[in-house]
Amino acid sequence: MAGIRTKEAANDFLTEYLPKHNRKFSIAAAKEGNLHRKAPSWEELKRILCLKTERKVRNDAVIQHENRLYQLEGLISTRVRAVMVEEWLDGSMHVRNNGSYLRWREVAKNTIRRPDNGKKMPQRPRKITIPAKDHPWRSSKINPYHRTGNRRSVPT
């Protein structure tokens, strides 16, 4: 719109345009002075820049993460329902609960006891249920087997 064709012309245009733009759209700061926060420490950065996943704690203080089981050690309260698993950039895994880190160890899956002692429960045969003749399903238009009086049956 301003007919600019070269870099020099664009720079000349900006020296005229920017003061007008800033007067129109700038807003004064609420407080004077430097309001930047102090840079976080390396330890805080590791906690911030990590992959965090919430995991439920089982009754035996075991969590499951990426198809592996981990036994939490030093868990004082049995009322802890969930913990935060942090995967840091260096590849290490840490488990946090209310701001403190918990020790953990990996547990083999076959050492966890099941209520059925590892045996497969026999499956009962499925019971087939046939709806009654006056059941609403039989009179539904969605039912593919629904027959109405005005249709002729096709001989087989």
- List pLDDT tens digits, range 15-71: 999 999 999 999 988 888 988 999 999 989 998 999 999 999 998 889 999 999 999
**Cα 136 from Cα 140, distance rounded (Å):** 6
- Which conformational region is residue 3 in: left (phi greater than 0), alpha (psi within -120 to 50 degrees), or beta? left
74 pLDDT band, cuts 50/70/90, is confident
Give the pTM. Answer: 0.51
Q: What is the pLDDT of residues 127-155, one digit of tens each?
A: 888 888 888 877 766 655 555 554 544 45
Phi, psi of 13 (to 5 degrees): -65, -40
Sheet with 51-56, strands from edge to edge, namely: 51-56, 82-87, 93-97, 100-107, 68-73, 62-65
